[in-house]
Structure 1
Amino acid sequence: MTTRALVLTSSILGEDGQSIALAEHFRTQAAGRDGLTITARDLVADELPHLTQPELASWQVPADERSVDQRALAERSDALIRELHEHDVVVLAVPMYNLGVPSQLKAWFDRVLRAGETFRYTESGPKGLIEGKRAVILAARGGQYAGTAMDSQTPHLKGMLGLIGITEVDVVFAEGLALGETHREAALKEAKQAIEGLVQGL
C-alpha cells in the first residue's frame, strides 16, 4: 500500500530557509522508503493571491451555473481540495514570521478551509469532512517559543487542520536557530532525527 505525502513549503528565503532544509530532509528520507511518495508544492514559487470577495462568491454558485470568470476563480480552491483528498499526509514546512504563519501558507488554508466542502456547520459546532489523514508540522524558528504563550503559531495551525478533520498532528520544532551556530546545528540535528523517525512510521 502506498502512502502519499503532500509537502508544502512557504519560506520566502528559498534554499536559504531552514524550514526548506527540514522539508528537503523529509523528502530525502522519504525517497529511501518503499511505499511512500511525495508531492511538493512551493507556495512562494506558486503563490496564491489573497482571497477576495469575487473568489469567495464563486464558491457559492453551482458549478454548472458559474460564468467563465467564476469557474477560473473557483478552480483555485477546487484544485487544492482535490489535491488534499489525493494525499494521506500533509507536511507543512513552516517558518515563523512575526509569531505567525507566512501569508502564502494562510492563502492556501483560505482555499482549503471551505464550508460545505472540507467542513460543515452543525448545531454542536463545525465538523471536519477530511477524514483518515494526518499532518506533520516542521517548524523552524529563530527564537525559542514552543510551550510558551508566545507560540500562537502551533495552536493556529492545529486549529485550522482540526477544522477540516485532521486531528492527528505531529510537530517537529527546530528552535533557537538565530542563537548562534552551535545552538543552530544542535537544533537542526535533533529536528532531522525526529523527521527520520516520523518518516519510518508513515
Structure 2
Amino acid sequence: MTKILRVTSSIKGPNSVTTKLTDHIVEKLGGDVTTRDTTTIPLIDGTWIGAAYTPAEDRSDEQKETLALSDTLINEIRAADVLVIGAPVYNFGVTAPLKAWLDQICRVGESFRYTEAGPEGLLGPKRVIVAYASGGVPQGSAYDLASAYLKQVLAFIGITDVSFVTAEGVSVDEAAALARAEAQIADLAA
C-alpha cells in the first residue's frame, strides 16, 4: 500500500483551499496517510544549529531533545512513498509554518550531506504533489517565489519528482480556481 505524507501549512486550517485540495489529492491517490500540520512547528535557532552540527555520538541529552522533532519529521519523509504538500502563497512565498518544516527537515548528515561534488540529497527518490493556491500569483510567474523555492529545497534533500496542482486567482474567482485544480487532480495517476 502506498504510504502518503500529507503536509498542511495554512493558518486557515480546514477552511484553507490547500487543505481542501490535499484532502482531494490523497483521496484520489489512495493509500496509508500520515498528516503533518506544520502550524505548530517551532523555528530553528542557534541551539538547534549547534545540536545539528554536533556529531550524533557527541550530542548531549539536551541536544538530542532539541533535534527530536526534526528526527520525527525526517523519518516521516523516509517512511513515505509520496508527499502531498499544501502550499498556500502568502506575500509571494511559502507560509512561515511550511518554512519552519523545511528548516527542520534540512539537516546535514540526515537529509543531505556535503561531498567534493557539492551537496547530495539523502531522502529521494520520492514523488511530491504540491497543492499550490494563491489569491492572484500565477504558479511559475516572476512573482511566484514559492514554487521555485520548494523545488530547490526538495531537490537539495534528494527529491526531484515534484508536480503542482494549482488553484490560481482564488481572490478573483475562487470557484473557477478550484474547478481548474479539481480537473488537475482528476488527471493525477494513482
Q: Give TM class, smaller chain.
A: over 0.9
Q: Give the match for residue 26 of structure 2.
A: 27
TM-superposed deviation, 1:65: 3.5
Q: How far apart in 2 are the matches of 1:72 and 1:123?
A: 31
Alpha-carbon shift at residue 55 of structure 1 (Å): 1.3
Structure 2 residues without counterparts, runs of 5 or longer: none
2 CA distance for matches of 1:146 and 1:40?
24
Residue 92 of structure 1 aligns to a residue in which SS?
Answer: strand
C-alpha distance in 2 between matches for 1:37 and 1:196 = 19
Quote how far apart the aligned CAs of 1:116 are. Answer: 1.6
Q: 1:38 aligns with which of 27, 33, 42?
A: 33
Q: Distance in 1 between matches of 2:9 and 2:137?
A: 20
Q: Does 1:195 align with 2:185?
A: yes
Mapping of 1:43-58 within 5 angstroms? 43-44=38-39, 47-58=40-51
Q: Secondary structure of 1:108's match? A: helix
For residues 148 and 124 of structure 1, what CA distance do their matches in structure 2 show? 31
2:85 is the alignment partner of 1:92: yes
In 1, Cα distance between the equivalents of 2:113 and 2:55?
A: 17
Question: Cα deviations across residues 103-140 of structure 1 (Å, max 9, x unaligned)?
Answer: 11111111111122111222332111112211111001
Computed over aligned residues only, the root mean square deviation of the Cα atoms, in angstroms, reads 1.5
* Per-residue Cα deviation, 1:135-179 (whole angstroms, up to 9, x for no partner): 111001100322321111110000000001110111111000101
- Tell me the amino acid that sits aligned with residue 39 of structure 1: T
Is 2:189 the partner of 1:185?
A: no
Aligned to 2:99: 106
1:193 deviates by: 2.2
Aligned to 2:154: 161
> For the structure 1 residues 125 and 63, does the alpha-carbon distance in structure 2 shift closer, same or farther, using more than 3 Å as the test?
closer
Unaligned runs of at least 5 residues, structure 1: none
Distance 1:186 1:124 in 2: 46
Paired residues, number: 190
Tell me, in whole angstroms, the C-alpha distance in 2 between the residues paired with 1:149 and 1:76. Answer: 34
